[in-house]
A = this chain, B = another copy of it.
Amino acid sequence: MIDRLIEDIEAKKNPTVVGLDPTLEMMPEHLVEKYLGDKDPEAREDGNKTESVILNIAGKGSREQAVMRNVADMFVEFNKGIIDAVADIVPAVKPQIAMYEKFGTEGIRAYNETCSYASEAGLTVIGDIKRGDISSTAAAYAAHLGGAEVGGMVFDTWIEDAVTVNPYMGSDGIRQFKEECEKRRKGMFILLKTSNPSSSEIQDLVLGDGRTVYEAVADLIDEWGSDLIGRYGFSELGAVVGATHREQGEKLRREHPYMFFLVPGYGAQGATAEDVAGFFDKKHRGAIINSSRGITSAYRKEGRAGNEFADAAREAALRMRDQLRAAIGME
């Protein structure tokens, strides 16, 4: 994963990953009408269109199944629009599985269809799944990278090039993912210093030896990933470091030269291109910056019509690319 990602970042001169985190609120009106509306003119008049209208959704199975199927199909159509709009200018997408999982089995189907479509478009797919467990359970989760074997055949039940993983359980939770990274040239990003305010509650606790918990985790990630370093000097085992932690990110960059950072928190959480410039090394490598709503909801922020959502996303992605290029001096 890591070599290909770095090469694609350089080919496109853009260290951006687009977060595909759909919500109902984010959906353009024409998609809401198509999938959750609108056959009953009377229902329109009571001011709560969607509520009245989804009662009319029909199809196989229960009403719940039908509503969830339509939500899932709507998310897929939206995501395909975004992917088509940005595939030639960004190297990667990062679907956040929680936004799909919210809608149950159908939501998971939409997640898989999104990953599959992005992969076919040539993008690196980083599944933001934040899984973490032990032994046989970790092995089962590792199917995200390695597939599921049934009767001697391996089926790719998930379509991801890399996933995010939680380190709290230690190397038992890492090992099985790592084996798949090695076997299938996949990657993983281990939660290190997350972008949220309360990340301090555990990650910033100070150990007896003076390190913080997250600094100790960084040392572990170095150790775990030291034998999977690719041709550009970065390990397949990267780390998640929030853009909101400028100083910590710069220090981690200096102290962990082999560690590739997946960086959330840009834009919506307030961090700027200047804040993340120090997450890169002198060759402009070592990090990829995520933006989700800042790109996918740009049409809304700019007050544009819903059917311009893809155009607006492309323009926002180009602006972000140019801001990052300028901040890190990538030419």
**Which of A51, A131, A156, A158 has most chain B Cβ within 10 Å?**
A131
**Number of copies of this kind of chain in the complex:** 2
Instruction: Say yes or no: is A155 at the interface (Cβ < 8 Å to chain B).
Output: yes
Instruction: Say yes or no: is A41 at the interface (Cβ < 8 Å to chain B).
Output: no
- Measured in the bound complex, the distance between the Cα atoms of B167 and A194 in whole Å is 12
Residues of B contacting A98 with CB < 8 Å?
A: 131, 133, 137-138, 140-141
Q: Tell me the minimal C-beta distance from A146 to chain B in angstroms.
A: 10
Residues of B contacting A148 with CB < 8 Å?
A: 68, 102-104
The SS class assigned to the A binding surface is helix
- Measured in the bound complex, the distance between the Cα atoms of B29 and A190 in whole Å is 39
- Measured in the bound complex, the distance between the Cα atoms of B132 and A169 in whole Å is 13
- Measured in the bound complex, the distance between the Cα atoms of B143 and A104 in whole Å is 9
Q: Is the CB of A203 within 8 A of B168?
A: yes
Q: Contacting chain B: which of A3-11, A107-115, A301-309, A310-318?
A: A107-115
Q: Which of B23, B109, B135, B198 contacts A105 (CB 8 A)?
A: B109
Which A173-205 residues sit within 8 Å CB-CB of chain B?
173, 191, 194-203, 205
Q: Which of B101, B112, B143, B171 contacts A140 (CB 8 A)?
A: B101
